[in-house]
Amino acid sequence: MDAIYASVVARDPDQSEFHQTVSEVLETLKPVIAKMPEYLDVVKRLVEPERQIVFRVPWRDDKGELQVNRGFRVQFNSALGPYKGGLRFHPTVNLSIVKFLGFEQVLKNSLTTLPMGGGKGGSDFDPKGKSDAEVESFCQSFMQELYRHIGASTDVPAGDIGVGGREIGFMYAQYKKLTSLPGGILTGKGMSYGGSNIRPEATGYGVVYYMDELLKHNNQTIKGKTVTISGSGNVAQYALEKCLDLGAKVLTLSDSKGYVHKADGFNREDLKALLKLKNVTRGRVSDMAGDGVVFVAGKRPWEVVADLALPCATQNEVEIGDAKTLVANGCMALAEGSNMSSTNEAVALMHDSGILYGCAKAANAGGVLVSGLEMSQNAQRLLWTREEVDNKLHTIMQELFHNSVKAAEQFDCKTKTGKLNYLAGSNIAGFLKVADAMKAGGIWG
């Protein structure tokens, strides 16, 4: 396993984010390979994407000047079904970021139990500060190339950071123009043209459902707990809403400029203000300051004392220093709403210190889970009610959690404090399903 990791680093030495997730997964799979060495050949194939697509995206801004960005789509693994995974538009996007997201997506999609492979894509285009016309111009150009590589039965992208309903709408319209094929080619669509109820809410709801199961498994409950949330986009917004539904008190929200803290906890009026701020005026969380809300510039919210932590912003937002702060503040549990929220060093410290840790592959699977349900509705020409989709989401998140528990128990995966290693359980449960499908196909599986 160490040799496989070394070969990954040697092949692509500059892809640090991809190295990080591969290292974490391979380390947790060692007990599986020790008992089942026949899976070693599967691991060798699993860490290499089936296909990597990089392309030029030219577009014109409002001044008529030509801009050129780079587009990506990594189709990582199709053993379980069509490639499925979001598109991220952000200046930091590069091949390493897309590969790390795609690799995690393979195991995450496997955990949902739905027939979906794993992929990811995006561009280094930044939609912030761009007019609707500029975003539309970029999305049309982006789809001008991407459409050649996707399809309802082959690869179904969704949204991610920087890609919301506006961007999905522009890309979906362009795909139809180019192919004359309406249908379920993208998920996260608007309700008026094939979207699913609670798709925008799904990741945020799912991470809170996961946290609730994690606490119940340790004779606790989320009701009455205080929570720090990072981020202020879709995931953070709806994690806040579901925390309110389940009786928890959320103390913080954040963006790249700092965080806001409300000692009495954010309420539903605050949630309405946040939704308008982020989704209509596209403002900053600092605009929420006042009436008991304090803005702290240039810092992350983990310094605020709370029972639970839900990082919902971006990768590696919980570093070793943040983990030390969480431990010192008596944090009980952390569940990742963003992809790979925590560095490997931070995760190790949380495990060693007794903090219950839910990794993104399991905890934030709600988004792709409801994307899969949207695909099912599109295929059947159906629309399920909000309650039906929410019930399916809640049920599958519970199943996902308990499947991870079973895998951790089967391979006796525990932390130094003697608690169950939920990270290892999630990785193993996701891996075994994919691995069996890959083995069935021989070396091409």
Indicate which residues carry an active-site annotation. Answer: 120
What value, to the nearest 5°, has the Cα angle with vertex 97 and ends 230 and 351?
Answer: 55
**Integer distance in angstroms from the first to the last C-alpha of the chain?**
20
Q: Rounded CA gap, 17 and 343, in Å?
A: 10
Cα–Cα distance, 332 to 339 (Å, whole number):
20
Q: Yes or no: say if 317 and 340 are a contact pair by the CB < 8 Å rule.
A: no
The 3-state DSSP class for residue 70 equals strand
- Within 90-201, strands assigned E span 118-123, 155-159
Residue 142 CA to residue 378 CA, distance in Å, equals 24
Helix, coil or strand: residue 382? coil
Q: Quick one: 129 exposed, middle or buried, by C-beta within 10 A (0-12, 13-18, 19+)?
A: exposed
Closest among 146, 77, 142 to 107, alpha carbons compared? 77
Q: How remote is the C-alpha of 50 from its chain's centroid? A: 21
Query: What are the strands of the beta sheet with 155-159, ordered from one edge?
Result: 51-60, 66-77, 118-123, 83-89, 155-159
The C-alpha atoms of residue 422 and residue 405 are separated, in whole angstroms, by 7
Q: Which residue has the tokens 């952390």?
A: 334
Distance CA 201, CA 255 (A): 19
Phi, then psi, of 296 in degrees rounded to 5? -115, 115
Using CA atoms, how far apart are residues 6 and 130, in angstroms rounded to an integer?
Answer: 41
Q: Which amino acid is at 221?
A: T
CB count within 10 Å of CB 275 equals 15
